[in-house]
């Protein structure tokens, strides 16, 4: 088994991430390789890292974002779950940097991104529609099944807030795997902290109990503008959104001087 550890970064890894890497348990039979790609466009960073993993002849690609705090058993558990039949993606459990919600989704479609819900989970792997790629394992056999480029993205525009966010490269990849017949799994037994550089706090501050996470939920906006996770209700009106197609091209540097 050849495992490729891939880290997309802006060049300033969180010290707690670096420290947690030192304590990751591995199987002595594994052959390990690793690379960091620096930049500020995560889909392209993931693209380059995936191509590097394929070129290296790796069996399993593991993305680790440099603001994750990883449990020692993360690699062992993800590799074991990824070895199950038809699994194309298996992700660890972690929450958004503000601690508001787990980064996993069900009922999600690239055509209706507001339709997604938070899947029910305990500690065992469970099938979902998408997982965050902060700590995720992908058998490279599934990379080879997909047409390149492997990663795309959506850009979320908020005119009122005058804010633009790059998003969903992970969920879009998961959707491609599902459309190709693969399973996407959340392994909530692998629990990672997510470090927020702005507040210098690790999220979640405490893990939600099983009686809370054991039901499907959705994120809603209250009348006062705050957000809350509530039991899923299909009759609840979805947020309105519209999409416009734009194109992005990957330009691969050559070896010639011009």
Q: Tell me the CATH number at 188.
A: 3.90.550.40
Q: Is residue 179 part of a domain?
A: yes
As for how many domains the chain has, the answer is 1
Percentage of residues of the chain with pLDDT beyond 70: 99
Q: Which residue has the tokens 């927020």?
A: 196
- Cα(223)–Cα(51) distance, integer angstroms: 46
Residue 57: which pLDDT band, with cuts at 50, 70 and 90? very high
Residue 85 in any domain: the answer is yes
Whether 11 is covered by a domain: the verdict is yes
* Cβ contact 218:229 at 8 Å: yes
Judged against a pLDDT cut of 90, whether residue 73 lies above it is answered with: yes
pLDDT score for 63:
99
Q: How high does pLDDT run on average in the chain? A: 95
| Cα–Cα dist 5/20, whole Å | 14
Examine residue 58 and state whether it is found in any structural domain, yes or no. Answer: yes
Residue 89 vs residue 227, higher pLDDT: 89
Is residue 258's pLDDT more than 70?
A: no
Residue 256 counted as domain residue: no
Instruction: Determine, yes or no, domain membership for 238.
Output: no
Domain that holds residue 123: 2-231
More confident residue, 88 or 115: 88
pTM: 0.94
**Residues 6 or more apart whose Cβ sits within 8 Å of residue 95:** 101, 102, 103, 194, 203, 204
pLDDT higher than threshold 70 for residue 179: yes
For residue range 202-225, what is the model confidence (pLDDT) as tens digits?
Answer: 999 999 999 999 999 999 888 787
Radius of gyration of the chain (CA): 18
- Residue 70 within a domain: yes
Closest CA to 118 of 132, 107, 134: 107
Whether 252 is covered by a domain: the verdict is no
Q: Which residues contact 129 (CB under 8 A, 6 or more apart)?
A: 105, 106, 107, 108, 116, 119, 171, 174, 175, 178, 184
Tens of pLDDT, residue by residue over 110-167, are: 988 888 899 999 999 999 999 999 999 999 999 999 999 999 999 999 898 899 999 9
Q: Which residues of 72-101 are buried (b: 16+ CB within 10 A; e: fewer)?
A: eebbbbbbebbeeeebbbbbbbbbebebeb
Q: Say how many CA atoms lie within 13 Å of 202 toward its Cβ.
A: 12
């Amino acid at each position: 088994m050849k495992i490729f550890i891939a880290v997309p970064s802006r060049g300033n890894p969180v010290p707690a991430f670096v420290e947690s890497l030192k304590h990751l348990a591995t199987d002595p039979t594994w052959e390990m390789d690793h690379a960091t790609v620096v930049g500020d466009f995560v889909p392209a960073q993931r693209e380059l890292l995936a191509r590097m993993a394929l070129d290296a002849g790796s069996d399993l690609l593991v993305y680790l974002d440099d603001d994750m705090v990883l449990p020692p058993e993360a690699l062992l558990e993800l590799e074991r779950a990824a070895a199950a039949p038809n699994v194309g993606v298996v992700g660890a459990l972690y929450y958004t940097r503000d601690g508001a919600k787990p980064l996993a989704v069900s009922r999600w479609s690239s055509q209706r991104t507001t339709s997604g819900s938070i899947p029910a989970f305990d500690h065992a792997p469970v099938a979902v529609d998408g997982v965050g790629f902060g700590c995720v394992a992908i058998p490279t056999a599934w990379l080879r099944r997909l047409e390149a480029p492997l990663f795309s993205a959506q850009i979320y525009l908020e005119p009122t807030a005058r804010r633009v966010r790059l998003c969903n490269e992970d969920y879009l990849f998961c959707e491609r795997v599902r459309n190709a017949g693969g399973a996407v799994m959340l392994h909530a037994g692998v629990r990672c902290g997510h470090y927020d550089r702005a507040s210098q706090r690790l999220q979640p501050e405490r893990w939600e109990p099983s009686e809370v996470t054991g039901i499907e939920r959705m994120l809603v906006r209250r009348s006062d503008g705050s957000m809350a996770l509530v039991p899923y209700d299909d009759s609840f009106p979805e947020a309105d959104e519209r999409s416009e197609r734009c194109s992005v091209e990957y330009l691969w540097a050559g070896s010639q001087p011009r």
